[in-house]
Amino acid sequence: MKRIIGKKGEDYAAMFLQKNGYRVIHQNLYTRYGEIDIVAHKNSTLVFVEVKTRKSLACGHPEDSFTVYKYRLLLKSAWQYVYRSKYRGLWRVDLIAIIMNSFDEVEDIRHYSNVNF
């Protein structure tokens, strides 16, 4: 069930990015350090996106589950992608937090650009 919710959240996030002028390059890209949910591009900047989705706030906001540890793994994955692709431009890490209702529709979506700890 958790994976299904996560996958739906990632799909909603990809649509959200596209509607806001991003070009989605990859979804669910695996590296030796873990998975990058979305790799996108906008305004000459490569964007590595972590998506956090919840169906209720009983366990806190989705953003709360993006820990320093998970951030560091995503950063390592991003560095590996940049190195292997020989990308030489600007890049950043973003977070998209989604809350869905009981009908699996987006109730709230928040985009945090250039996150860091």
Structural domains present in the chain: 2-112 (3.40.1350.10)
Strands lying side by side in the sheet with 34-42: 23-31, 34-42, 45-54, 90-100, 106-112
> What is the percentage of the chain residues whose pLDDT exceeds 70?
99
Query: pTM of the predicted model, to two decimals?
Result: 0.94
Banded model confidence at residue 3, pLDDT cuts 50, 70, 90: confident
The pLDDT of residue 46 is 99
Nearby residues of 46 by Cβ (< 8 Å), 6 or more positions away: 39, 40, 82, 87, 89, 90, 91, 92
Does pLDDT of 59 surpass 90?
Answer: no
Q: Which pLDDT score is estimated for 27?
A: 97
Tell me if 39 sits within 8 A of 82, measured CB to CB: no
Mean pLDDT of 9-24: 98
Report the alpha-carbon distance of residue 22 to residue 1 in Å, rounded.
29
Res 113 pLDDT > 80: yes
